[in-house]
Structure 1
Amino acid sequence: MVERAGSYASEAEKQKDHHHHRISFPSIHIGRSSSSKDGLFGTNVPATLDWKLESPPIVFYGDAENSSGALVSGQLYLDVRKEEGIELESFDATLNIHVVQKRPYVAHCNDCTNQYTELKKWIFLERPLVLAKGKHSFPFSILLEGHLPTSMDGTLVSIAYEFKAEAVPKSDSSSHPVIRLEKTLDVKRSLPEHETPHHSVRVFPPTNIKASVHYPQAIHAIGNNTLSLRLDGLAKHNPKPNTVEYWKLKKLTWRLEETAKTIAPACAKHTPKEPKEGTAEQPAKKGLPRTDSRVIGEKTVFSGWKSNYNSVTDSAVELELDYFLSKHAKYNCNTKSRDGTEVTHQLMVEMVVSQEWAPLSKPTMVTQTGVGRILRMHFQTVLTERAGLGISWDNEAPPVYQDVPPSPPSYSAETRLVGDAIDDVIEPLDSVVLSGLTRRSTEGESSSAAGGDGR
């Protein structure tokens, strides 16, 4: 009992003195150095690297065959903070397309998973150079060709445009680490929209039902899209029993589906060997096709359409269907690249109709027949980015030499005769130029007069 009381007392003393102690973690620094932009090295960083894009958002206007690409331009800023400056051994930047295969040719192989394509490399320093304290700017630019793929992150593959800049201090004059900057460019594509909606007609045998659909071929991820649907041939007259059969719409379901296709290439290590000449062996595939589909929007409705069954010859159902992407759906716009990566979309409309009959003399006495059908329609849809107010870069470029109109006519000798009249009218607007013109005209007249006297 004494020992237990002593232990309780020691615990009470520990709790009493607990607030007098400060807990410190050697690896965590809570202060200005951790929250400042100097980063891990605090105020000892000799220089920092940043960038600023001066070009508009990167958008390819048009499809891969007709797009002229997009211009990317900006400035790299190297801010030297040391008083004595810094001597750089090299300073360059690269722009790569990084493709990540999420279902690679060989699992757990880094080379089969990651593929890099270098688009351009900028070398800002041809030889070692000492940069004084202050901010130094280095411009860069590139024309991304229109056939290149857009940025995406799908279930099969992801494509990213990675920009990396690296400034290497001279090793014999400084022990500072390499200064790096890594950024990612977001590349999009905007496909043109048709002025009129696409019209499609579908027939569903063995019934006489005919569907007439108007829908936009290009849709956007944000906002609603409207599909106009009309069903005809819903009634049929049976002359022998003198009855009328009706097909009535009970339920409609729409669904937006995204299909991705790609070819997972094999790296140099796992590339199959070519068969020997003269053998019957088939050449092994150097890439495996991958396909995946997912739903990015769907909804089921049980009402909202207008029905007309007043006559046998003029029975129809009309509705305006709004379809859209789900709020938290992960999507990719339509794309097609040369390496086999392709993303397509389609709108699926499924309708459930039920058959009913009634005597021709009493059309309100409806009886269920227990017969039902499912009518399905698929429409190819293009999901694309909004163009906004942007246009293609080649439409914004200045005209080339052949497109420049003729220049204004030059002054002739008769201009001097009406110089005074011109001077009186326009001198308040541009007195300097016209006074010079008048002065030159006067001098010319006096010199010609002097020449006449000489002769």
Structure 2
Amino acid sequence: MESILHPIKKAKKRADSEERGSWDKKRGLLLIRPSTKSKDRSASKNGLVASAGLKPAPCRFEMIMESLPAILHGSINYSAGALLSGRLQLKVEDPSGEVRLTKLDMVLRVDTTTRKPVQKNCEGCTTKHDIIREEKFLSQPKSFYKMGDNQFPWSLLLDGRLPGITYCQLGSISYSFVVNATTSSDENITFTHPLLIQRAVPPGPDHASTRIFPPTHLTGRVTMPPVVHPVGQLPVTLTVSGVVEKKEQNQTRWRLKKMMWRIEEHSKVKSTRCDKHKRKVSDDEAVQHVDSKQLGNGELKSGWKTDFDTSGGEIMLDFQAQLSTKPSHKPSCDVDSLSGLEVKHSLVVELIVAQEFVPNKNTNLVTPTGAARVLRMQFALVVSDQGGIGLSWEEEMPPMYEDVPGSPPCYSNADQNDGALGGDLMEDCHGPDLEHTDLERVPTSNPCEPPVYRQRRRIDMGVALPIEYRRGPDDADGAGPSQPRQQHRVFWLDELDEEPQHIPRRRVADEDCEAAVDYGEQSASAALAE
């Protein structure tokens, strides 16, 4: 019976294989036919395009950015925005070398897209367009030539409350420049240039948080940076205190068995309805959707320090957390936009602790009680892009008038009223004479040189001091000088400010010179004789 049945099975298998082979051949033919049809269709389409005779656009646009990348420094409440500047360049490609435009406008647009719209396949419910800035470059028709420098400069200040570009599971936010031009032949030309806008929150002091876990005496303290970047590590310091509870004869303590951490991303979006689908939604203006996903995670089973000898006991642990531990993790920065899209992040730390019983007489005798707890802590994270070496535009600008400090007080005459000078007075000093330095003029051979003064000093070695001649009471008619008197000359400040007066020298007689010389020789000989 078996010998009869076996050939039948083999025949069936062969028939099945033949049918499969024929089906594979048919399948190959089916796979080939659509490709040929698609080629024919594409060829027919190209033929239709060529037959239609559509002309290329007479001109095209290019965007030239002159400013640095748009980075909003600081949080939404404290950011001053960002400055942008650039040029819109028009390139004429018409064979005639001339294009006449009747309209040329450029708008900065923000596009908010939701992945859970009120009505599927509805563009009005899926994407929302908002215009931030609008520029009109032409007020009347104008002709542009191929050889000309057709450039349109522009500049704007972005509001510091604008959200950065975001791509999350529930929606996205993007920015773009949209240029609309109309030629004299009523031909519309559209150009779109994407714009990258980021937000960078500056780092600050480390953030410390404390958590209490009743009914136990356990207290957890976590120290970590306040700002996290999508690329990099997050150093976290964890300290658990109150792990030992001592009694008269024994003590109970908690021992850390395992530590787990994870970073979660929470996104929220409000799906608005368009005018066509107002009746599909209730009286509420929008439908809110919430989604959460896990980014980076990790666990530790060792590597911490346990101290049961101090009062209360402590467990100290340091670990490095990452925002994305896998290539598939694509974190988004924190966003809180007016359009309804919100993205936030949080760090969740879980500790598994087990209770132990220890007698005070022998602390090496440890007995597990079987009780265990899970200590869960959650901390908010601020995820932001890196600012690099850039600074906010308000920190780079020069100081304003109100930033200049007050000047010293001014002085004015007594007859001036109170006003800009503050009513200050300047009076003469009637007190005792001030201390001054006795100055003398240095003799010079050139009378045109400005006067030079030096401090007068007494010279010894038989040289007399300068002699000043004054007129006596008997010489009122100016007949001649009176008896010479030795006196120091005092120069006042008023005299120093005046220009020097050059008095011609009096010609000295030969007899006077000889007498002076004889006097010097006699004094020198007398000194030698002594």
Return the TM-score normalized by structure 2: 0.62
Q: Secondary structure at the match of 1:284?
A: coil
Q: 2:190 aligns with which of 180, 191, 205?
A: 180
Separation in 2, partners of 1:120, 1:45: 26
Contact 1:272-1:286 at 8 Å conserved across structures: no
Query: Which residue pairs with 1:255 in the alignment?
Result: 262
Structure 1 portions without partners, runs of 5+: 1-24, 29-40, 275-282, 407-419, 422-455
**CA contact under 8 A between 1:221 and 1:383: conserved in structure 2?**
yes
| 1:265-301 deviation line (CA, Å, top 9, x unaligned) | 2222233599xxxxxxxx8211112211111211111
Pairing of 1:44-63 with structure 2 (within 5 A) = 46-63=58-75
Whether 1:192 aligns to 2:205 is no
Residue 317 of structure 1 is matched in structure 2 by: 315
Indicate the SS of the match to 1:371: strand
Please report how far the alpha carbon of residue 236 of structure 1 lies from its aligned counterpart in structure 2 after TM superposition.
2.2
Q: 1:319 to 1:404 in 2, by over 3 A?
A: closer
Distance in 2, matches of 1:71 and 1:219, equals 25
How far apart, in 1, do the equivalents of 2:314 and 2:178 lie?
A: 61
Cross-structure match for 1:301? 300
User: For the structure 1 residues 109 and 125, does the alpha-carbon distance in structure 2 shift closer, same or farther, using more than 3 Å as the test?
Assistant: same
- Whether 1:169 aligns to 2:183 is yes
Structure 1 residues 368 and 73: CA distance shift in structure 2, 3 A: same
1:157 to 166, 171, 190: 171
**2:273 corresponds to:** 266
Q: Shift in Å at residue 133 of structure 1?
A: 1.4
Q: Is the 8 A contact 1:273 1:284 kept in 2?
A: no
3-state DSSP of counterpart to 1:333: coil
Give 1:264's aligned amino acid.
Answer: S
Distance 1:312 1:49, change over 3 A: closer
Amino acid aligned to 2:71: V
For 1:144, give the aligned amino acid. Answer: L
Asked if structure 1 preserves the Cα contact closer than 8 Å seen for 2:63 and 2:193, the reply is no
> Which residue identity lines up with residue 198 of structure 2 in the other structure?
K
Partner of 1:231 in structure 2?
Answer: 240
Structure 2's unaligned 5+ residue stretches are 1-38, 44-52, 407-448, 451-530
Could you say which residue in structure 1 is the equivalent of 2:146? 133
- Which letter does structure 2 place at the counterpart of 1:386? Q
Structure-2 change in CA distance of 1:142 and 1:230 (3 Å): same
Residues of 2 paired with 1:92 and 1:119: CA distance? 14
CA drift at 1:67: 1.7
Deviation at 1:191, TM superposition (A): 2.0
Deviation larger for 362-371 or 217-226 = 362-371
SS at match of 1:112: helix
- Give 1:290's aligned amino acid: H
Equivalent runs, 1:114-129 vs 2, <5 Å: 114-129=127-142
Q: Which amino acid aligns with 1:184?
A: P
Q: How far did 1:258 drift?
A: 1.3
Partners of 1:167 and 1:394 lie apart in 2 by 35
Cα distance in 2, alignment partners of residues 314 and 233 from structure 1: 4
Report Cα offsets for 1:364-404 as digits up to 9, x if no partner: 23222222110001111111122222222223334556668
TM-aligned CA deviation for residue 42 of structure 1: 13
Q: Distance in 2 between matches of 1:151 and 1:59?
A: 11
Task: Work out the CA distance in 1 between the residues paired with 2:66 and 2:160.
Answer: 20
Query: Does the aligned pair in 2 maintain the 1:272–1:285 contact within 8 Å?
Result: no
Q: Quick one: which amino acid aligns to residue 165 of structure 2?
A: S
Q: Would the aligned equivalents of 1:251 and 1:303 in 2 still touch at CA under 8 Å?
A: yes
**Which digits, 9 at most, give the CA deviation of each residue in 1:85-141, with x for residues without a partner?**
222232222211111111123333221111111112222222222211134211122
Q: Which amino acid aligns with 1:79?
A: K
In the TM superposition, residue 158 of structure 1 has moved relative to its aligned partner by 0.8
Residue 397, structure 1, aligned to residue 397, structure 2: yes
CA distance in 2, matches of 1:42, 1:369: 86
**AA matched with 1:320:** D
Alpha-carbon distance in structure 1 between the residues aligned to 2:145 and 2:243: 83
Query: How far off its partner does 1:405 sit?
Result: 9.3
- Structure 1 window deviating more from structure 2 (312-321 vs 65-74): it is 312-321
Q: Between the two structures, name the one with larger relative contact order (CA 8 Å, sep ≥ 6).
A: 1
The one of 208, 213, 217 equivalent to 1:204 is: 213
Which amino acid counterpart does residue 259 of structure 2 have in structure 1?
L
Distance of aligned partners of 1:133 and 1:272 in 2 relative to their CA distance in 1, 3 Å threshold = same
Residue of structure 2 equivalent to 1:95: 108
Instruction: Summarize the Cα distance change of 1:44–1:260 in structure 2 as closer, same or farther, 3 Å threshold.
Output: closer
Structure 1 CA distance for aligned equivalents of residues 293 and 72 of structure 2: 26
Q: Name which one, 1 or 2, has greater alpha-carbon Rg.
A: 2
- Code of the residue aligned with 2:345 in structure 1: it is H
1:447 aligns with: none
Give the SS at the match of 2:293. strand
| Number of residues of Structure 1 aligned to a counterpart in Structure 2 | 357
1:120 alignment partner AA: R
- Mean alpha-carbon deviation: is it higher for 285-294 or for 185-194? 185-194
Instruction: Show the counterpart of 1:440.
Output: none
Counterparts in 2 of 1:300 and 1:161: CA distance versus 1, 3 Å: same
| Distance of aligned partners of 1:167 and 1:317 in 2 relative to their CA distance in 1, 3 Å threshold | same
Provide the secondary structure at the position in 2 that maps to 1:356: strand
SS at match of 1:343: strand
User: How far did residue 178 of structure 1 move?
Assistant: 4.7
- Identify if the C-alpha distance between structure 1 residues 148 and 365 changes in structure 2 by more than 3 Å, giving closer, same or farther: same
Measured in 2, the distance between the counterparts of 1:346 and 1:289 equals: 21
Partners of 1:178 and 1:273 in 2: CA distance:
36
5 Å-filtered alignment, 1:250-399, equals: 250-271=257-278, 284-309=283-308, 311=309, 313=311, 315-326=313-324, 327-328=326-327, 329-399=329-399
Shift of 1:68: 1.7
